[in-house]
Structure 1
Amino acid sequence: MPDTLDDFPARYARTRRFTLGAPASVTVSPDGRRVLFLRSAAGDDPHTLLWLHQDGRERPLTADGPDRPALPPVTGYATDRQARLAAVAADGELWAVPISDERPRRLKVPGPVRDPRPSPDGSHIAYVSGGALRLVRADGSGDRALAEPEGPDVAYGLPEYAATASIGRTRGYWWAPGGSALLVARVDSCEVALRHISDPVHPERVPRPQRYPAAGTANARVTLHVISIDGGKVPVRLPKVAAPVPDAAGPWRDGAFEYLVAADWTDAGPVATVQSRDQRTVQVLAVDPADGQTTVLHTATDPYWVQVPPGLPLVRRDLLVLPAVVNDVRTLRITAGDAEPVTAPDGLQVRAVQGADGGRVWFTASRDPWETHVWSYAPAEGFRRLTDLPGEHTATAAGGTVVLDSRTPEGRTVTLLREPSGPPRAEATAPAPAALPIAVTTHPYGITARPELLELGPDRLAARLHLPSWHQAGDDRLPVLLSPYGGPGMQVVTRAAGWPWEVCQWFAEQGFAVLAVDGRGTPGRGVAWQRTVWGDRIRPAVEDQVTALHYAAKHCPALDTAQVAIRGWSYGGYLAAGAVLHRPDVFHAAVAGAAPADQTQYDTYWQERYLGHPEITPETYRRSSLIPYADRLRRPLLLVHGVEDDNVHLLHTLRLSAALLATGRQHSVLPLAGTGHINNRPGTADTLLWLELDFLRRSLGVRSAADGTKHGTERGQLQPQRS
C-alpha cells in the first residue's frame, strides 16, 4: 500500500473505484464444474478479460498469448446452456469463445454488435446490430436478419431507455429452451422526445441523439413477438389496460400497460411481466408461442406502486416464485409443484432472486437494513441462510456450486462453495499472474476505514461516522461533512466496506468528521418507509440529514455543528443542493454533482412513481425541484456535472445555474469534459476529490493540515491505516 493519503485519489481513479481486478458477471455451468466471470488482469488494468475457473484452477480465455489472439476489452458475454461456448462483444466485434483449448474466433458480421447470446445448444449466436436482431452460426457462416427495424426509431432485441435506467431490465430477447425460436421485444421510440448530447470540447463532432422519456411525456411502445429461426413471427397479445386500483394515492390514474418489467422463456414456456403507466398494477403472463395468446398467472396491485424485486417473477414448470407484501415487508411467495404456497420467514425483506437450481430457490434478503444475506429454499429443507459474516452477500449457483460474493467490514471476497446442502466448504482458486484471485479481493488499494455505525433519532436513521485516525479526545472540534446518497435507489450505510467508506475516510483524514446517513425512502426498511417520500422527494430527505446531524453531535461532542458541509452525486448531489437551499441555518456549504434539479426533466418510470404526472400533480414536481428555490441560496455552492451525462442531463445544472444568476446568487459551476454520469476516469475523478476538498475548506474557513492543525502533520505526511 502506498505510504501517504495524497496517493488515495489517484488510486481511487486508477482502479475505477477499486473495481478493477475483481470478478463480475459470474456464470456457473449446470453441472457446477465451470465458472466463468469477467475480470481485468490486475487491479489497475482496465482491460477486461473473460476467465474460466475449472478443476481448482483459473485461466483467461481472452488474454494475450502465443496461442491466442488479443481481444479488445470484453464488455459483455453470454453462454450456451452447458456453458461450453461464450459469445463475447468486444469493441463492437462479435467473438465466439469455446470453453476449451480452442482459440477464440472473431465472426465477421455487421457491427457494432450488441448483446450476443448463443442458442441453448451452442449452434447459433443471436445478436443485435443496427436495430436488427440477427443470427449467425457459431462457425461464422449463414449470417442473416431475423427481424429488421421498420424505421429509424425501431429496434428489435434491445431494451428501451426506461428499462435499463430505471426498471432494471437489461435484455431485449430470450431463447426458447430448444433453440428453435426467441421471445423478442420490439421497441418503437418514434414518439419519445429527442434530445442531443454534444461534446463542446469537440464542436466539429455531430451531437449524439437520444430518445429520452421525461416525466409526463410519451414512452417507447414495447411489444413482444415470438420469432422462429426459420423466419416465422407471431405477435404476443399483451393486455392493454388494467382495472382501476381502489384507494389509489393522489389524483393521477393511468392503467395503460406501457412497461415490460421482465420476460423469460423457460421449460414452462414464454413469460412476460407488464406494469401499468401509473405502476399500481403488475400482471405476470404465460404466453402461448403458437398464437401469442396470454394467460394471467398473477396480478398484483398497490395504491402507491408495485415494486418487483430483481429476478422476479421466476417461473418454471414445477415452480412459481412471485413478489408479495406481507405486514409491510417485501417478501416472496413460492409455490413448488402442488404444494401450498410458502412465504419467506417473517420480517425478511427480500432484495433479489438469483435463480433456481434443481428445485432450490436462491435469493438475498435482510432482517435489518445493515446486512443482506444469501438464502435458499427447497421443499425438503425449508428456508436456510448460507452466509453469516456481517455485510452484503450475493450468490450465483448451479449444479451444487455456489459462487459467493461478499462485502464485509474487512473488504470484499469472492468464494467458490461446493455442496451447499451440507456444511459449506470454501475453495479458494489459484491466483492468476498479477491478478486478484477469485477468492481473495480484500482491500486491494484502499484506506482501512473503521467507521462507527449508529442509529440516530426517533426513526433510528442508519448512519456511518468517520473520524480522523489521529483525532483524540480533547482535540479541537471537527468541521462536519455529510456524504449521503439518501434516495430510493440504494443504501450507502451498511456493514459492507467499499469505496464509499474509503472516500469518507479520506475526507476524515483531512480534518473532517464525516457522516453518511440513509434517510426516509431508502431500501431495506419496509414498504411504509419507502412511501414516506411520495409526493415530496427533497424535504423529508433533507430533514433526515438534519436530524441525524444533531443526534450525532449529541453522541460525539467532537462534531462542530457551526461548520457543516454536504457533498453528493446524482440523488446525493440533489440532496446536497437541496440542503443549502432549504436549510441554510444548518448547512454552510455544498458540493452537488450531477444533481437532477428540474424534476420534470427526469425519466417517466422513476419520477412518476413518486410524483405522479406533472400535468395533473404539478405541485409535487415544483415542491421537489430545486430551481423554484434558487433565490434562497446564501451559502457557497459548487455545481459539478459531466458534460456528456445521458442520465441526468447537463440541462439540470445549467437551468439551476441560470436561475441562481437571475436572482443574483453567487455560486460555482464545474463542467467535466468527456465525462458522463459515472465519474471514475483518471485525471478527473481524482482531481475532483482535491477540488472538492479545497472548496469545502475555503467555504468553511477550515485550515488544511499544512496550516498546522492540532495533529501537527502536513499534506503528504498523513499516514493511512494499514489494511
Structure 2
Amino acid sequence: MSESFPRLHARTRRFTLGVPRGFTISPDGSRVVFLRTRSGSDPVTCLWEFDVAGGGERLIADPRALDAGEEDLPPEERARRERSREQAGGIVGYSTDGAVTTAVFTLAGGLYAVDLKTAGVRRLTTSGPVIDPRLSPDGSYVGYVTGGAFHVQSLADEVDHVLARPEGPGVTYGLAEFIAAEEMSRMRGHWWSPAGDAVLVERADESAVQEWFVADPANPSRPAVPQRYPAAGTPNAKVELFVLGLSGSRVQVPFTDEYLVNARWDAHGLAIVTLSRDQRSMRLLRVDPATGESALVREDTDDAWVEIVTGVPGHLSDGTLVWVADSDGGRRLVIGDEPATPPTLQVREVLDIDGDTVLFRASGGDPAEIAVWAYRDGRITLVSPPESGVYNGRTAGGTLVLVGQTLDSEGPQVQVLHHHRPRGHIASHAERHGLDLRVSLIRTGERELSTAVILPSGHVPGSARLPVLMDPYGGPHAQRVLAASGAYLTSQWFADQGFAVVVADGRGTPGRGPEFERAVLHDLAGPVLDDQVDALHGVAERFPDDLDLSRVAIRGWSFGGYLAALAVMRRPDVFHAAVAGAPVTDWRLYDTCYTERYLGQPEEGHYDASSLFADAEKLDRPLLLIHGLADDNVVAAHTLRLSSALLSAGRPHNVLPLSGVTHMTPQEVVAENLLLLQVDFLRRSLSIG
C-alpha cells in the first residue's frame, strides 16, 4: 500500500529534505560547496562539494560519521533555527575562508573544522557549546559565541581568546538579536575584517526588553522557559557595535537609529545600514574602523516605511556602491547614484557581486514569476531561462549555480554553468510527491490579483460545483502564488479531497511594487480581506460551473491564520468555516519591528481595527483555532485570549492546542494529523459527505 500524502509530506519535512542548498562557490569558480541530506526522508544534513570541471560531487562531512547527535543543541542554536525556519538537522550552516579551502560548522554545540581538499574533519576544543562560527578570510581564525561571550580561536594551535564577555544578564556579544533574525533576515552578529585582524561585533542588551514565559502545560513539572519578547510599543534590545582587534583593542561604532539592518566589511571599507524606530528613514554609513567615526553615504526616506532588501550594500570592483531603493513606483537596483533597472522590474534581492557583475532576483509584469538577472557595464540581462518559473542563484569566478522550479517540474533543479557553458547538475534527492497537479494561474478581480486555482485531479470542468477552500497567507513579506509546483502540494491534496482551492495574493504581498505593498499601512485587516473576497468572486466568474459559493471555507497559518479568523468573523456572508493556525489575534502581542512598520505605535490608534477581539461576538460560523504551545514567535496567548473572548460572547468554536510545538510543525505525526484533522473539520462544517 502506497504511503499517504499527509504522511509523506510530514516525513519529508514538506519535501525539503534531499534538496541541495546553501551554495558557496570558490573564487576561481572551480568548486561549489553545498548542503544536502542523503535522501528525501533523511533529516541529517551533510556537507558536499561539486567539481565544476568534471561535473562530479563528493561527500565532505557526514554528521553520522562524526557521532554527533541533535539532542544537545544549545538553546541559542535552537532559537536560531526557529528564526530561520530550519526543518532539518545535522550541518545546517557552515562558514568558509575566502579561498573556500576550509569550512567550520557546529554539531550538537561542538565546533568542527574541515579541510575541503582532503575532507579531513577535526573537532576543536571550546569552553562551551558554540553558536555561529565564522572563519576569518585567510582561514587562520574562527570567531564564535559561547555563553554570550565572543571568542576567537586559532585553527593552527587551537589557542582560544575571549574578545568580549557579557557584563551582565541579558547581554550577548556576536549574536543577532530576536528582531534582527525574525524580521530583518539578519542571522549574524559578527563580521571579519578583510585582513582578518579585527571583527565587528554586535553587543545586544535585552535587560530592558519585557520578559515573557513560554510554558508547557502538558508537563507541569517542567519550569516555564523565560523569553525576552519585544512586543509592539515596548522596548527593543539595545544594540551596539564594537570593532574588536585580535590584539585586544576595542573601538565603539556609535549610531543613533533603533535598528541595525546589516553590515558589510570588504576591500572597500566598513559600512553599516541602520533604520529608525518608525522605519521611515534608512541610513547607509561608512565607518572608520580605527576610530569608530562614521559618515553618511546616503539616506532613504518614505512616508510609510523603507523596505529592507537583502544583499546590500555591496560594491563593484572599483568601489562603486550597489544598492536597492524605491523610485518612480518601482523597487530598483541602484549602481552608484543611478537606478540601473526600470521601475517595472521589481527587484527582490541582490544575490552576489562578482567583480563588476551584480546578480539579482526580480519580477516583471507577473509577480508569480521570479527571474534571475545580471547587471554589468550599464546593462541588465536575463540569466535564468525565459520559461515561467521561480529562480535563484549564486555566482563567483565565472561560475553560476542556477536553481529553478516551474509548474511543470517536480521540485527544484540545480544547474551549474561556467562562463555560460553547462557543467552539469547538482542532484536533488527529494521524494516524489505523487500528485497530479491541476493548477491554473490567473489574474482576477478589480485589482488583477495574482491568483491560483487548484482543482481535483479527477475533476471534469463543468461536471459539478465544488465546495471552495481559500488557502492564503495574504500578508506582507510572503507570497503564496508562485509559478512553481512546490508552492501547491498541500493545496492540491486539499483539492483532491473534493475542494476547489483558491490561493490569492492581495494588497500587502510582495512582487507588485511599493504602492501595492503599502496599501496596508495602518490597516492590516480591510484591504487583505477585501482582496480575498474580490479574488473569490473573480474566480467564480472565470469558473462559473465549478465553484459552489454557498460552501466556502478558508484556512491559513500565521498571518494566514489571522486572515482566516478575520474572514469568518467579518464576512460570514462569504465564508462559512475557517481553520486558523497560529493566528495573530491582537497586534499588541506581536513584535515591534513587524507590527510598528504597518500600524505604528499602539497609542496612534490603528491597532483595534486590525485586531480580532472586538469581532468575537460576530462569530456565527465554525472556527477551528490551532496553536503550538511552545510557539515563541506568535505566542499561544493569541489563540487563548481570542478563545476567552469568544467564550465570553457565547460563541461556539474549537481549539486544538499542540503541546511542545513551535511556530513550525516539524514533528512527523503532528504534521500528518494536522492535515487530516483540518479536512475532517472542513467536511463537517460544510456538510460534505
Matched, 1:492 2:480: yes
Question: Secondary structure of 1:532's match?
Answer: helix
- 1:286-327 Cα distance to aligned partner (Å, 9 max, x none): 100110000111110101101121112224552211222222
Q: Which runs of 4+ in 1 moved over 6 A?
A: none
> How large is the RMSD of aligned CA atoms in angstroms?
1.6
Specify the alignment match of 1:63 in structure 2.
Answer: 62
1:460-471 alignment, distance < 5 Å? 460-471=448-459
Asked whether the 8 Å contact 1:413–1:441 carries over to 2, the reply is no
Asked whether the 8 Å contact 2:110–2:130 carries over to 1, the reply is yes
1:318 is matched by which residue type in structure 2?
G
Specify the alignment match of 2:388 in structure 1.
Answer: 390
Asked whether the 8 Å contact 2:205–2:239 carries over to 1, the reply is yes
Mapped to 2, the partners of 1:96 and 1:58 lie a distance apart of 20
Specify the alignment match of 1:631 in structure 2.
Answer: 617
2:19 is aligned, of 3, 17, 22, to: 22
Asked whether the 8 Å contact 2:283–2:296 carries over to 1, the reply is yes
- 1:597-621 Cα distance to aligned partner (Å, 9 max, x none): 0111101110001101002x12x10
TM-score (norm 1): 0.89
Matched, 1:47 2:44: yes
CA apart distance, 1:139: 4.1
Mapped to 1, the partners of 2:214 and 2:21 lie a distance apart of 30
Specify the alignment match of 1:292 in structure 2.
Answer: 292
Specify the alignment match of 1:218 in structure 2.
Answer: 235
CA apart distance, 1:64: 6.7
1:404 is aligned, of 383, 402, 405, to: 402
CA apart distance, 1:22: 0.4
Q: 1:102 to 1:52 in 2, by over 3 A?
A: closer
1:661 is aligned, of 630, 647, 651, to: 647
Asked whether the 8 Å contact 1:415–1:427 carries over to 2, the reply is no
CA apart distance, 1:566: 0.4
Question: Secondary structure of 2:485's match?
Answer: coil
Mapped to 2, the partners of 1:505 and 1:32 lie a distance apart of 40
Specify the alignment match of 2:666 in structure 1.
Answer: 680
Q: 1:446 to 1:84 in 2, by over 3 A?
A: farther
Matched, 1:227 2:227: no
Specify the alignment match of 2:423 in structure 1.
Answer: 427
Specify the alignment match of 1:266 in structure 2.
Answer: 266
1:67-466 alignment, distance < 5 Å? 69-72=66-69, 73-139=90-156, 141-238=158-255, 240=256, 257-315=257-315, 318-335=319-336, 341-367=338-364, 368-379=366-377, 382-409=380-407, 410-420=409-419, 424-429=420-425, 438-440=426-428, 444-466=432-454
Q: 1:564 to 1:123 in 2, by over 3 A?
A: same
1:679 is matched by which residue type in structure 2?
T
- 1:651-708 Cα distance to aligned partner (Å, 9 max, x none): 10000001001111100000111210011320011101000000000000001xxxxx
Asked whether the 8 Å contact 1:446–1:502 carries over to 2, the reply is no
Question: Secondary structure of 2:94's match?
Answer: strand
Q: 1:149 to 1:641 in 2, by over 3 A?
A: same
Mapped to 1, the partners of 2:92 and 2:418 lie a distance apart of 31
Matched, 1:566 2:547: no
Asked whether the 8 Å contact 1:365–1:372 carries over to 2, the reply is yes
1:687-702 alignment, distance < 5 Å? 687-702=673-688
Structure 1 unaligned segments of length 5 or more: list them: 241-256, 430-437, 704-723
Q: 1:649 to 1:380 in 2, by over 3 A?
A: closer
2:433 is matched by which residue type in structure 1?
Y
Specify the alignment match of 1:649 in structure 2.
Answer: 635
1:677 is matched by which residue type in structure 2?
H
Asked whether the 8 Å contact 1:535–1:610 carries over to 2, the reply is yes
Mapped to 2, the partners of 1:236 and 1:64 lie a distance apart of 39
1:418 is matched by which residue type in structure 2?
L
Mapped to 1, the partners of 2:666 and 2:253 lie a distance apart of 42
Asked whether the 8 Å contact 1:78–1:118 carries over to 2, the reply is yes
Asked whether the 8 Å contact 2:329–2:343 carries over to 1, the reply is no
Specify the alignment match of 1:522 in structure 2.
Answer: 509
2:220 is matched by which residue type in structure 1?
P
2:500 is aligned, of 495, 505, 513, to: 513
- 1:542-570 Cα distance to aligned partner (Å, 9 max, x none): 11111111121121121000001000000
1:609 is matched by which residue type in structure 2?
R
TM-score (norm 2): 0.94
Q: 1:446 to 1:79 in 2, by over 3 A?
A: farther
Asked whether the 8 Å contact 1:215–1:607 carries over to 2, the reply is yes
CA apart distance, 1:203: 2.2
For this pair of structures, how many residues does the alignment match?
663
- 1:234-263 Cα distance to aligned partner (Å, 9 max, x none): 00122x2xxxxxxxxxxxxxxxx1000110
Specify the alignment match of 1:715 in structure 2.
Answer: none
Structure 2 unaligned segments of length 5 or more: list them: 70-89
- 1:582-604 Cα distance to aligned partner (Å, 9 max, x none): 00111110000000101111011
Specify the alignment match of 1:588 in structure 2.
Answer: 576
Asked whether the 8 Å contact 1:428–1:439 carries over to 2, the reply is no
Asked whether the 8 Å contact 2:46–2:63 carries over to 1, the reply is no
Mapped to 2, the partners of 1:189 and 1:446 lie a distance apart of 48
Question: Secondary structure of 1:333's match?
Answer: strand
Question: Secondary structure of 1:104's match?
Answer: strand
Q: Report percent identity of matched pairs.
A: 46
Asked whether the 8 Å contact 1:63–1:70 carries over to 2, the reply is no
Q: 1:443 to 1:75 in 2, by over 3 A?
A: closer
Asked whether the 8 Å contact 1:413–1:439 carries over to 2, the reply is no
Specify the alignment match of 1:252 in structure 2.
Answer: none
Asked whether the 8 Å contact 1:377–1:384 carries over to 2, the reply is no
Matched, 1:10 2:13: no
Question: Secondary structure of 2:684's match?
Answer: helix
Question: Secondary structure of 1:463's match?
Answer: strand
Question: Secondary structure of 2:405's match?
Answer: strand
Question: Secondary structure of 2:442's match?
Answer: strand
Asked whether the 8 Å contact 2:114–2:120 carries over to 1, the reply is yes
2:300 is matched by which residue type in structure 1?
A
Mapped to 2, the partners of 1:442 and 1:203 lie a distance apart of 39
Mapped to 2, the partners of 1:45 and 1:188 lie a distance apart of 38
CA apart distance, 1:425: 2.8
